[in-house]
Amino acid sequence: MPLPESLRTERLLLRRWRASDRAPFAALGADPRVMRNLGTLMTRGESDALADRIEAHFAAHGFGLWALEVPDVDAFAGFVGLAHARFPAPFNPSIELAWRLAPAHQGRGYATEAARAALRFGFEQLGLAEILAFTTTSNLASQRVMQRIGMQRDPTGDFEHPALPQGDALRAHVLHRVRESDHEPSG
């Protein structure tokens, strides 16, 4: 059975990317409020290269980081989805749940709602046994989302992200996990 190209929730649409998503995505990567827990600001070229990698992941695996749309409000509010994490870490290779939302859409429960849909997809459509999420130690908002969707902190898995330089304040990351056996199936 082919994988769906989009997911719907009560308020949101998680869908494949469109060419029109690239400009607002570049704006996210250039926004210090969005990038404060992610590292340096991104140029348009870096943003487009990341969008290309997201599309390549979809092409290779049938899933990835969906563009997040708030119907009748915003055609591109950010992204939420699942991706292969392959950087050097004891828990990799793994499947990571990730999100990035525009400031206008933060604090509205969209990340939680979309992340729940992505988890359901991962467990029910992909048959995954476990999904991970990680963020900087200072990103308490994302850690709260992880907790709300049933993920558990794994302090033994906390790590220093190898993509960030030694001494970078964002290098220290916390790891959260959820196993299929602990996930509540959809009704």
What would the pLDDT profile of 15-74 be if each residue is shown by its tens digit? 999 999 999 999 999 999 999 999 899 999 999 999 999 999 999 999 999 999 999 999
Examine the pLDDT at 187 and tell me if it is beyond 50: no
Segment 174-187 mean pLDDT: 82
11-182: CATH superfamily: Gcn5-related N-acetyltransferase (GNAT) (3.40.630.30)
Question: What is the 8-class DSSP label of residue 162?
Answer: T
Instruction: Report how far residue 45's alpha carbon sits from residue 94's, in angstroms, rounded to the nearest whole number.
Output: 27
User: What is the identity of the amino acid at 69?
Assistant: E
Res. 185 pLDDT band, cuts 50 70 90: low
Instruction: Report how far residue 101's alpha carbon sits from residue 29's, in angstroms, rounded to the nearest whole number.
Output: 10
- How high is the pLDDT of residue 65? 98
User: In the chain, pLDDT over 90 holds for what percent of residues?
Assistant: 92
